[in-house]
Structure 1
Amino acid sequence: MKISEQWLREWVDPALSTDELAHQITMAGLEVDAVEPVAGHFSDVVVAEILQAVQHPDADKLRVCTVDAGSETVQIVCGAPNARAGIKVPLARVGAVLPGDFKIKKAKLRGVESRGMLCAEAELGLSDANEGLMELPVDAPVGADLRGYLQLDDHLIEIGLTPNRADCLGIAGIAREVGLLNQLPVAAASCEPVAATITDALTVTLEAPERCPRYVGRVIRNVDVSRPSPLWLQEKLRRCGLRSIDAVVDVTNYVLLELGQPMHAFDLDALHEGIVVRTARAGESLQLLDGQTVDLRPDTLVIADHRGPLAMAGIMGGEPSSVGEATRHLFLESAFFAPGHLAGEARRYGLHTDSSHRFERGVDFALQRRALERATQLILDVVGGEAGPVVETVVEAHLPERPDVVLRRARIRRLLGFELVDAEVERILTGLGLGVSALEDGWRCSIPSWRFDISIEADLLEELARVYGYNRLPVSHVQADLVIPAQPEAKLSLRSVRRHLAARGYREAITYSFVDRKLQQLFDPDVMPIALENPISAEMGVMRSSLLPGLVGAVQRSVHRQQPRVRLFETGLRFLPGSEGNGLQGLRQTPSLGMVISGRRFDESWSVASVAADFYDMKGDVESVLGLGRCAGQFSFAAATHPALHPGQTAAISRNGKQVGVVGALHPDVLGALDISGPVLVCELDLDALLSAQLPAFSELSRFPEVRRDIAVIVDKEVPAAELMQHVRAAAGAYLRQLRLFDVYEGKGIDPKRKSLAFGLTFRDQSRTLSDDVVNQSMNQVIDSLEKNYNAELRNQAL
């Protein structure tokens, strides 16, 4: 936001230089981005009047002007298209210095003497306008120094406001801050009620009071829009970055800059019956002031009459009802629109206006009537007219609630680190506009209507620190009784999981919780994702129900950037519809671990073959993670299906019979949709199941030798090896210490419908050396059980 230093000093004038004032504002939390003069450096430029302008005898585009400079009459050769008799313009006399150290000298242009130069705004550093001469008001005093006449010894202060400080989007808000910082009174603008001289009024109906709980308007008749805005008004607008349009629009813009209240003026003759504040209806469109015609969305709030929309509420007015040269009667509006409902609305149409910028952040909801009175008086002063009564329609139940906030005296010392005397606390809070009443241990504060950012005690503490001065806060060391938190060994730390995966060559990724709806459908078509009301972009329209879309998207970008080997993992939340568990109403948030592999199994090297990673590489990494909690035996893998994964290369991961994750290769259709060549392996696990560990327990080392027996059995292809191993453990007895699957064979010599599995069984007892008879008995139990339950055959017998 840009403000004029002179305008600010009309409200409050501290004894500070421009740089000191800018520094003070910055230290109060309103960062000043730039300070620059309102005009370039020039001297000896005066107000002059063109008495006569005739065609140059030897140049079609030049005129020879006779100019009254006050103390003398001079001849100027000028090429500006608007150079004509009777207008007053800036004259740089001979000897004048213009911006850029450009000195004016006597000259001859096509044989005609010229003593000086008539100036455009760009040549004086006032703006970029250089289409013609800068025309001054007809009452400008001829011969007066231009800098003094326009009060150009002024500076523009550009303030980079944070979104929470909407109360400072007007001179009044900045002046309130400066007055408090310097303990000076603030000269507020006159907003006295304007007495009605006519009875004309329009009815106002609020059909969407939750979006517009207050609407104020009045009729003003018999205005003369042909009258120009006074110079002081045009200059204040120009210095704040707004151009003069016409007197009525200039007044509404002036009130916006002065008080922070956006306003709009309609041509009364273009309105039909009354005003209706409602949402747009299907098929409605509106031609905006910028010339474009937009098709209105059904949930867009509009200002309408009984024929159709007139304006997009809080954003931009419509061209058909706008004020123009033929306008004689006005309807002036001032309204409050709820910030939550208007946020992002302008961006949905590709718009951003001064009005939407303020309404989205929150406008003082008690300001509308005062702003209307202020604008009415200015309009009557500038263009004349007769004002009707003020019509105010308000639904109190939908106005923002401002509950009191209690500030405890002890919290000041604890959180700010120093004592602040009660009188100083009350001075600061009162200066901010808060109503302050003393309590035994602090103060109860009522929050003013313009401060949407104060709702809890910490906000009041922030205000105290900000106004007192961050640079004045004492430096103190933090003191606290630190208690070392318990580290339960039955809970695996997330840090250990991250370190383990990093050690296995993975890199941690952090992706957005918002994903593209189409990408989400590829991975989780059976889940209706939770849509965002105000998405950052169309590619971030829904909450993710899986970590895989974000991780695979990262793989896609890496592959397209010629990365031959990608290994990523991410820990974060999945967002699912529902309200069970640790979720909010209508939303379940599930902590999860996602992993993804693409490309080579190993980094390129002379010692290993360059082969692509496969399902078992991912499964091995998953098993290593599951083993961190010392309860790998509780997890099992079983063939499964998943809409985004390859049939036959997908497994469900279960813990004690409950599914907690899935691992597999991406389906070729998904790879094709994402334009990824080569296999991509993925895994997703519930973190709660992964991090639940077993207490470590010591097992005494045996002094007796182990005995290993190998066995190869032929079974049907459909029998999972994991199921067989579970059966072997149960049948082998108490002496079995380790079971390994070390060979899988299908092919020559084996029935095409069957397969050979080879297991290594290791036996040991803690108290004795096992005899062959004991081990043989266990092996016979295993063989008999496999033959009976799985129709298994010993491979050497089958062959």
Structure 2
Amino acid sequence: MRVPVSWLAELVDLPAGISVEELDEAFVRIGFEVEGVHRPEPTTGPLVTGRVLEIEELTGFKKPIRYCRVDVGEAEPRGIVCGARNFAVDDAVVVALPGAVLPGGFEIAARKTYDHVSDGMICSVRELGIGEDHTGILVVGHGADSPAPGTPAADLVGLDDVVFELEVTPDRGYAMSLRGIARDLAAALGVTWRDPGDRPVPAWSGAPGWQVTVADPDRCDRFSMVALEDLDPAAPSPWWLRRRLTECGIRSISLAVDVTNFVMLELGQPMHAFDRAAVTGPVTVRLARDGEELTTLDGTTRELTGDDLLITDDTGPIGLAAVMGGENTEIGDASSAVLLEAAHWEPTGVSRTARRHRLPSEAAKRFERGVDPEMTVVALARAAELLAEHGGARVVGGLVDVDTRRPRPAVDLDAGLPTRLVGVDYTTEQVVAVLESVGCAVTADGDRLTVHPPSWRADLALPADLVEEVVRLAGFDDIPSVLPTAPPGRGLTETQRRRRSIGRALADAGYVEAPAYPFVGLGVPDTLGLPDDDPRRQVIVLRNPLSEEEPALRTTLLPGLLATLARNLGRGQRDLAVFEHGAVFLGGVGQPAPVPGIERRPDDGTVAAILGAVPDQPWHVAVALTGAREPRGWWGPGRPAGWADAVQAARLVAEAAGVRLFVRPGERAPWHPGRCAELVVGEGDDARVVGYAGELHPRVCAALDLPARTCVMELDVDALPPAPVPVGPPISAFPPVFLDLAFVVPDEITAAHVESLVRGGAGDLFESVRLFDVYAGPPVPPGSRSLAYSLVLRAPDRTLTAEDVARVRAGIVAVVELQGITLRSGDA
């Protein structure tokens, strides 16, 4: 919202000498963010108004040129050459006399041009730096309505005016007008103000000027209209009105349209002017029928839905209610009869329509935030007055005012609530004074207040809203900046520590954290090749998604990670290792959550239903790799990332979580069959699959434009058992014994299983084991491979003997042979 200080000063008795900086601070104190302060470029030297006395058309040149005699308040008129043609004799114009310097350093001097001496310059708004229009001269009056020749023009054209650009939050629709901002600023500064909405409404007599029916009073609870005729279609908008519109960022179009825009800025009530000659039959406010069409004022033909509210006549739609009028009833160059409409529309419906049709009009911006329903008739009276004064229009017939509003409930407020919530001592008298300053009617019974919010504050519906008003106008600066004292003995929970440890472990291993939005498209399960019965297909679809292309909540972390891989590959990266840990949302649609009202706290049953509709949200961790895992260099050729790196990432996660992880072959989309590992915790009957790791299926890689053999791992962190209490390892002062054993192992037996057998067969002397070699080929029989392990044996109370080592070796061999595993011949 752009606010000219000169216009604001007409409504508010600003303190004498208040600076722009002090006004800026005042706006911030009452909750308006100042996005910019616009000052016109400086103009120096003589700049005055002049009256055009004579115009001589010069011929013989490539373009039309005029030589004008202009009275500038001196003894003799000045002769000025000008190429513009939008002014006439007796018009008042702005003249820069020799010695003036216009914005951009443009110096004015008397000079000979087109065979005449031009003793000054007649200025356009762009030459004055107050607008972009350069198509014609700025005309500031005509005849008796003109300022006296020689009047200093700087104040008249707004060269000294400052315009504040304010950010208005969505809940404060009243502040989308000078009326609303003036009221708040006056309360903050403790000065008086004049309400432009406090004006008498004429008693228009006679039958209603038009027949109107409102078929949907829930979406339009007040619709007002007056009919006018005898409007001079050629009547120009006065300069002061065009200046106000320009300063507020609105282009001047015609007198009728300019007046409705001016009243919208002044009172906050959007209006629309229909060409009365183009309206056929009674006006009806109704919902659209699916498939109906309307060509709006921007020339776009729009297909309507059953949720769009329309203004119609006998021919069909003539306006998209609260958003934009129809082209078929647009005010034109010959329009002399006008229907002026001002209404109060239900905000959420306006918001849906504006977004559906991508029409963020100035009217829609205000209606979707909420406007004052009491202003409809006042706005009509103000517009009719201006059209009569400047265009000769007159109202015919009586006022149309279809009003179906219901009484607005009062809000009960404990006068001590602001103090309890904010920590600042507000007296009851102070609370009442602040609420009354914003227009509330307050009845006090001790500390119990009954507050009737004003019609222009639709956002004041709860006690908390009233508390916010008290704090805002009493001053946010009064709130102490005191940090709460943290209670001792708390800190991170076990779950938080585990999650942080996992993130640190993966980061230390070279993975880069790449968090993604938890939203996915409905086609993701198909892209990942998930089976029809896979529970990960049961996604939860949001009612109001951030993007219509991604309306569902993720059931796996892989879509976001793989999208990150594809994005970075597209930007020239080749060696990537990324991870993410976060919640996934399982359980499908389930029972929809009820939507409780805001008038009271939900009962226990409603709260239980809401909580029951919340899906399971386990915490997962996932990694994705492609390219080189070890770069090449002088030390060697490097190594590409493979499935073993994804498995190792899972082992890092398990180690950070303090649990032991087992790996075995598995199969699950979107992993490649035969190159997928199940990640298991527990043994025997307690074994539980907590994740998968390996290579992506080639079809998934192709669908996502990823390199072949891209590897991923995903693991359910919440499914990991609690870490056991850590116990310090036994320390022995006796030397260790190192024992290497190589086994011939059938391909179907995993290395992890062999390791568990070795541990079990080693007995009490076992300290550690490490797989250090894998070999397949002659002399190892086909269908088998050689696995070589290095064991460390140690006794806590003695030095081991050869007999001790032989006994351990024999025990291990006996255990593995029961599983069909044999000792390699060289170790026999």
TM-score, normalised to structure 2's length? Answer: 0.82
Task: Check conservation: 2:79, 2:118, Cα contact below 8 A.
Answer: yes
Q: Tell me which of 484, 488, 506 is aligned to 1:483.
A: 488
Displacement of 1:176 after TM fit?
0.9
Aligned match for 2:231, one of 218, 224, 243 = 224
Q: State yes or no: 1:712 paired with 2:718.
A: no
Query: Of 191, 208, 211, which residue of structure 2 is paired with 1:199?
Result: 208
- More displaced, 55-64 or 451-460? 451-460
Distance across 1 between alignment mates of 2:556 and 2:289: 37
Q: In the alignment, which residue of structure 2 is the partner of 1:662? A: 692
Q: Are positions 1:244 and 2:252 aligned together? A: yes
SS at match of 1:433: coil
Deviates more, 1:697-706 or 1:27-36: 697-706
Distance (whole Å) between structure 1 residues aligned to residue 291 and residue 371 of structure 2: 31
How far the C-alpha of 1:485 sits from its partner, in A, is 0.7
* SS of corresponding position for 2:517: coil
- Unaligned stretches of 5+ residues in structure 2: 531-535, 592-607
Deviations 1:616-640 (A, max 9, x none): 112112112112232215x554412
Deviation at 1:573, TM superposition (A): 2.9
Q: What residue in structure 2 maps to residue 36 of structure 1?
A: 39
> Which deviations, in whole Å up to 9, do the C-alpha atoms of 1:381-405 show, x marking residues without a partner?
5522225333325475xx9x87837
Matched, 1:671 2:701: yes
Structure 1 pair 349–488 and aligned structure 2 pair: CA distance change class (3 A): closer
Inter-partner Cα distance in structure 1 for 2:283 and 2:564: 52
1:622 aligned residue = 650
Whole-angstrom distance in 2 between the partners of 1:91 and 1:477:
59
- Worse-matched range after superposition: 276-285 or 232-241: 276-285
Q: 1:340 to 1:764 in 2, by over 3 A?
A: farther
Q: Which amino acid aligns with 1:630?
A: G
RMSD between superposed Cα atoms in Å: 4.2
Once the two structures are aligned, what percentage of the paired residues are identical?
A: 31
Q: Choose the corresponding residue for 1:648, options 674, 680, 698.
A: 674
Larger mean CA deviation between 232-241 and 742-751 belongs to 742-751
| Aligned residue number for residue 819 of structure 2 | 786
Once the two structures are TM-superposed, the CA of residue 168 in structure 1 deviates from its matched residue by 1.2
Match of 2:659 among 626, 631, 647: 631
2:163 aligned residue: 157
5 Å-filtered alignment, 1:214-613, equals 214-226=221-233, 227-277=235-285, 280-296=288-304, 299-305=307-313, 307-343=315-351, 346=354, 349-364=357-372, 367-368=375-376, 370-379=378-387, 382=390, 383-392=393-402, 394=404, 404=411, 406=413, 409=416, 412=419, 415-416=422-423, 418-438=424-444, 445=451, 447-451=453-457, 460=466, 462-471=468-477, 473=478, 477-478=482-483, 480=485, 482-485=487-490, 492-515=497-520, 521-523=526-528, 527=537, 529-530=539-540, 542-576=552-586, 577-578=588-589, 585=613, 587-613=615-641
- How many Å separate the matches in 1 of 2:373 and 2:617? 36
Q: One-letter code of the match for 1:653?
A: L
SS in 1 for 2:640: coil
Q: Is the 8 A contact 1:216 1:369 kept in 2?
A: no
- Distance change >3 Å, CA 115–CA 328, structure 1 → 2: closer
1:737/1:764 contact within 8 Å kept: yes
Supply the distance in 2 between the matched residues of 1:44 and 1:707 (Cα, whole angstroms). Answer: 101
Q: Which residues of structure 1 form unaligned runs of 5+?
A: none
**Cα 1:773–1:327, aligned 2, differ >3 Å: closer, same or farther?**
same
State the 1:26 CA deviation: 3.0
Where does residue 695 of structure 1 map in the other structure? 725
The letter of the residue matching 1:147 is A
The change in CA–CA distance for 1:411 and 1:191 in structure 2 (over 3 A counts) is: closer
Q: CA 1:187/1:108 → structure 2, altered by over 3 Å: closer, same or farther?
A: same
Please give the alpha-carbon distance, in whole angstroms, between the structure 2 residues aligned to 1:575 and 1:364. 43
Counterpart of 1:120 in structure 2: which amino acid? S
SS of residue paired to 2:273: strand
Separation in 1 of the partners of 2:540 and 2:690?
22
The size of the alignment, in residue pairs, is 785
Equivalent AA in structure 1 for residue 660 of structure 2? A
- What one-letter code is carried by the residue in structure 2 that aligns with 1:49? V
Matching residue of 1:143: 149
3-state SS in 1 of match to 2:399:
coil
Letter in 2 for 1:11: L
Q: CA deviation at 1:693?
A: 2.8
Q: 1:248 to 1:700 in 2, by over 3 A?
A: same
Q: Is the 8 Å Cα contact of residues 405 and 455 (structure 1) preserved in structure 2?
A: no
In structure 2, the CA distance between the partners of 1:743 and 1:97, relative to structure 1 (3 Å rule), is: closer
Query: Which amino acid is 2:139 matched to?
Result: E
Question: Does the CA contact (< 8 Å) of 2:95 and 2:122 recur in 1?
Answer: yes
Paired residue secondary structure (1:262): coil
Amino acid at match of 2:573: Q
1:402–1:446: 8 Å Cα contact kept in structure 2? yes
In 2, Cα distance between the equivalents of 1:435 and 1:781?
93
Which residue is equivalent to 2:597? none
Cα offset, 1:376, TM superposition = 4.7
Per the alignment, residue 28 of structure 2 pairs with 26
Mapped partners of 1:79, 1:537: distance in 2 = 53
Report the counterpart of residue 596 of structure 2 in structure 1: none
Q: Which moved more, 1:705-714 or 1:540-549?
A: 705-714
1:64 — aligned with what?
67
Name which of structure 1's ranges 439-448 and 249-258 shifts more when overlaid on structure 2.
Answer: 439-448
User: What is the CA-CA distance between 1:423 and the residue it aligns to?
Assistant: 2.7
The alpha-carbon distance between structure 1 residues 561 and 315, as it changes in their structure 2 partners (threshold 3 A), is same
Aligned counterparts of 1:320 and 1:242: Cα–Cα separation in 2: 23
Matched position secondary structure for 1:25 = helix
C-alpha deviation, 1:267, in angstroms = 2.8
Q: Match of 2:191, SS?
A: coil
For the 8 Å contact 1:204–1:393, the answer to whether it is kept is no
For the Cα contact (< 8 Å) 2:125–2:133, is it kept in 1? Answer: yes
Preserved contact between residue 418 and residue 470 of structure 2 (Cα < 8 Å)? no
Deviations 1:304-344 (A, max 9, x none): 44544333333322211222234354443334444444447
Q: Which SS does the other structure have where 1:662 is aligned?
A: strand
Structure 2 distance, partners of 1:766, 1:499, is 35
Code of the aligned partner of 1:522: T
Match of 1:133 in 2: 137
**Residue 390 of structure 1 aligns to a residue in which SS?**
strand
Alpha carbons 2:264, 2:271 under 8 Å: kept: yes
* Residue 756 of structure 1: how far off its partner (Å): 5.1
* SS of corresponding position for 1:290: coil
Q: Aligned with 1:155: secondary structure?
A: coil
Decide whether the 8 Å contact of 1:490 with 1:694 is kept in 2: no
Q: Spell out, residue by residue over 1:252-279, the C-alpha distance to the aligned partner (whole angstroms, 9 max, x if none).
A: 2112101222222223443454555555
Decide which of 46, 54, 79 is 1:75's aligned counterpart.
79
Q: Which residue of 1 aligns with 2:94?
A: 90
Deviation at 1:613, TM superposition (A): 1.2
SS of the residue corresponding to residue 432 of structure 2 reads helix
State the distance in 1 between where 2:149 and 2:165 align. Answer: 36
